[in-house]
Structure 1
Amino acid sequence: MLKRFRSAFSAFHHKERYMSHEQEIAEKKYVVREITSEDIKDLLKLEREVYTGETPWPRSAFLTELHSSYSHLYLCVLYQNKIVAFIGGRVFFGDTHITHIAVHPDFQRLGIASFLLQEIEAFAYRQHCQTLSLEVRISNIDAKRLYRKSGYEAKKRLANYYRKGNEDALYMVKRVE
């Protein structure tokens, strides 16, 4: 019972500080740090590059998440002072929901997304969450492969989840160990 209460309460915990640091991934040095409001312009630019001209999240969505009272973690990865990847997760009643993950096309398949997933999983563990969850486009074969390799299991198909093309999503969950 206490564990269940603690995980429900963790949704409203004080904001944990993430320490900015250098990280070597695939023999390149990156800087990993928390996202700030000043980064949103660069995040929108990255979204356009990743999602072929689209911006799935407007500026207001990023601002809402960054200033949410729910416990959350939004990280970016910089290479030569340019944001090349980011991830976000929000805690809600024992689940850390991954709200967004994007890696610039020139930096995909280097292990950056796997690293970011591990950082969010460590955050979920510290928040006493039992699960991590996310949605992914049915057509995104590479992302689904990465998530399965990272231990996520498909739980259900969400019909017409994405507005563009009315594409279905796959809801995936991983147990926090």
Structure 2
Amino acid sequence: MLKKFKALLPKPPFKSAGYTSRPYPVNTKWLVREVTNEDIKALLAVEREVYHGKLPWTKSAFLSELISPLPHLYLCVENEDILAFGGCRIIGNDAHITNIAVHPKFQGAGIGTFLLEELETFARQHGCLTMSLEVRLSNRDAQRLYRKLGYVSRAIKPAYYDQTNEDALDMVKYIE
């Protein structure tokens, strides 16, 4: 019965950061745009591919970020489907990278770097002095990317990831 009425329920409000959609610089078939709540199912599909069937974030986690009163920006790169996404939330003078994922078929194409650079532009526009993130200790490729972009290690957070109980490396980039 609930399914019949689900379509009648109001959708959570989506707060736009004012990002102007544009073609991805390297491949004009791809579009970069802000994520909307209608994209969540596709974001979860990308997560499943990246994390081998596991979902670090739930639908409700994405929804709560998209309707957050804190300044935030969530972007996706898409062709017919979403290939990658990333987002950050501004807390004080820090832009915290909350989530970033690139479908395995498209990793190594510079999409992750591009998304991080776009998020850094957003952070600068909001007067942030730092950008921070957590990354799995086992994710050496992501750590290499973050270091290449100027992030440094701050600490290890034991048992940070709920599903796997894996430790996280806390990293920060000081914005000049």
Q: TM-score, normalised by structure 1?
A: 0.88
1:1-177 equivalences in 2 (<5 Å): 16-25=17-26, 27=27, 29-79=29-79, 81-177=80-176
1:60, 1:164 → 2: CA distance? 16
Question: CA, structure 1 residues 105+28, in 2 after alignment: closer, same or farther (shift >3 Å)?
Answer: farther
Higher strand share: 1
CA displacement at 1:163 relative to structure 2: 1.8
Q: Work out the percentage of aligned pairs sharing the same amino acid.
A: 54
2:70, 2:129 → 1: CA distance? 16
Q: Deviations over 1:47-84 (max 9, x none)?
A: 101100011111000000000000000000002x2100
CA displacement at 1:28 relative to structure 2: 5.7
2:4 aligns to what? none
* CA RMSD, 1 decimal: 1.3
Contact 1:89 1:98 in 2 (8 A): yes
Q: TM-score, normalised by structure 2?
A: 0.89
2:150, 2:111 → 1: CA distance? 16
CA displacement at 1:16 relative to structure 2: 3.1
Give structure 1 regions of 4+ aligned residues with deviation exceeding 2 angstroms: none
CA displacement at 1:127 relative to structure 2: 0.4
Contact 1:86 1:102 in 2 (8 A): yes
Higher helix share: 1
- Gap regions ≥5 residues in structure 1: 1-13
Q: Deviations over 1:81-122 (max 9, x none)?
A: 210000010000100000000000000001000000000000
- Gap regions ≥5 residues in structure 2: 1-14
Contact 2:155 2:170 in 1 (8 A): yes
3-state SS, counterpart of residue 29 of structure 2: strand
